Chain A
């Protein structure tokens, strides 16, 4: 089953003139890394918001079409239920972390799901290990580097045990070393059978992707790029 199946999705922000998403069709492959490319402002973040219910639950507008999350219509689900299947990691690490220690940060989601303490303890350990940040467990997230913060944001989302992870330009604000570490985690997630959506505009980060789509004029188009020249060609028009 597809983690996400989108049919003829159209969306317009309330004050906007025209549809920012205008007939999106997508069948996401399970257990793979799918990259979505596109120029700045073309609607990548908007598409991510639709895929995880932030639109229409938090941001409103004119929404049309259907999104199925593991076969169930997304618009009928509550955000807290969607959050069990989908985790999203944003671009700015500072707007994702709000707890005084790394441990508290990771525990936040499982606490909301009412898991018992032993289970939460287990999840904290597993997730910290996965992102290789065990030794920072009792530190204040504020004192970590950008890449480390992003790893903690990932661990906190992973603690909810979602099947699909969406990274919305999560590599953009971190240094080269941090990028490598986060990309390694993405590959590990894939081996664990999780599906990954990777929103990007840096060709160097596409090597780990199995499928690549290009978002333009509100539509998605499957593409196949193997080198930098083809990539540059894509952005020319």
Chain B
């Protein structure tokens, strides 16, 4: 993607994500959400996040979001009917607005979270540690994040093994395909757990948790740019809230 990107400390990235997500969660207004969505995409690009890749890897999540959006627009009926059956309003303007808001809110959270992914797991752990979060908890976060790729590689290996035996999963009927999925579920999970246990043994044999404390070779330092980012995020977030709640801007549209 773009060559230019801001080198920032994980802690200022966390501040940005926290600020944007807070706005997205608390202010349920389509204009504000659109504005924050654009800003968060711009910020993610500035920090050098790969948004396309993020959308691809969370593809299944987006299907789920779309289903929720459709359900939400069907169930929350208000305003003008856009689609009616026998005079019964099925899809309404208010419902579509609600669905759109939901979609924007999760988009803001997902896109701003991609900013975190521009730091590696060691930096994330160290960032949390330097924010005075106990190392054990910080490390657990990174182990949990690591377990997902383990599971994914295990699934990939299993599918490759199946396909090497001449079974093309794309070509068999759905009912049989589901049977295959159920069949491999246990070995895949068992394999991932076995690998995870191997990792934890390797860690223990390198004296993990030998003492209550540990030192750290990596030391994160905030630069002038980091202070600027954090102060800017704080002012920006507060400004949006003050405008919305105190000056009532932008006003409601329905």
Question: Which residues on A are within 8 Å of B, measured CB to CB?
Answer: 52, 54, 57-58, 78-81, 83-84, 86-88, 90, 92, 94-96, 98-101, 103-104, 107-117, 120-121, 124, 153, 156-157, 160
Contacts and interface: CB of A to CB of B under 8 A. Distances in A.
Interface in B55-81: none
Contacts of A80: 204, 207-211
B218 A113 contact: no
B239 interface: no
B214 interface: yes
Given A101-B122, A160-B207, A120 B202 contact: no
24 contacts: A54-B205, A79-B204, A80-B207, A80-B209, A81-B210, A83-B210, A84-B207, A92-B198, A94-B195, A95-B195, A96-B202, A98-B202, A100-B122, A103-B217, A108-B206, A109-B206, A109-B207, A111-B214, A112-B210, A114-B210, A114-B213, A115-B215, A117-B219, A120-B217
A54 B201 contact: yes
B215 A83 contact: no
> Interface size class for chain B?
20 to 34
Nearest to A94: B195
Contacts of A52: 205
Contacts of B42: none
B86 interface: no
Contact of B218 (A87, A107, A109, A157): A107
Contacts of B206: 83, 108-109, 112, 156-157, 160
A73 B45 CA distance: 58
B234 to A, nearest CB: 29
Contacts of A92: 195, 198
Contact of B214 (A87, A112, A157): A112
B219 A98 contact: no
Given A108-B208, A114-B215, 17 more contacts: A54-B205, A58-B204, A78-B210, A79-B207, A80-B209, A83-B205, A92-B195, A95-B199, A95-B202, A96-B199, A98-B203, A109-B206, A109-B207, A111-B214, A114-B210, A117-B216, A124-B217
Interface string B101-128: 0000000000000000000111100000
Nearest to A95: B198
Contacts of B208: 80, 108, 112
Nearest to A83: B207
Interface in B202-251: 202-211, 213-219
Interface string B122-157: 110000000000000000000100100000000000
Interface of B: 120-123, 143, 146, 195, 198-199, 201-211, 213-219
A-B pairs with lowest CB-CB distance, top 5: A95-B198, A80-B210, A100-B120, A109-B206, A107-B217
Instruction: Select the residue from B206, B209, B210, B215 with max chain A CB neighbours within 10 A.
Output: B206
A100 B120 CA distance: 6
B120 A83 contact: no
Contacts, number: 99
Nearest to B212: A114
B217 A113 contact: no
A182 to B, nearest CB: 17
Contacts of B207: 79-80, 83-84, 109, 112-113, 160
Contacts of A58: 201, 204
Contacts of A90: 198, 202
A107 B218 CA distance: 9
B198 A96 contact: yes
Contact of A87 (B120, B146, B205): B205
Contacts of B195: 92, 94-95
Nearest to A58: B201
A23 to B, nearest CB: 26
Contacts of A111: 214-217
Nearest to A120: B217
A99 B216 CA distance: 14
Given A84-B207, A96-B199, A120 B215 contact: yes
B205 to A, nearest CB: 5
Contacts of B121: 99-100
B205 A113 contact: no
Given A104-B218, A111-B214, A88 B205 contact: yes
Given A84-B207, A113-B210, A160-B206, A101 B219 contact: no
B217 A83 contact: no
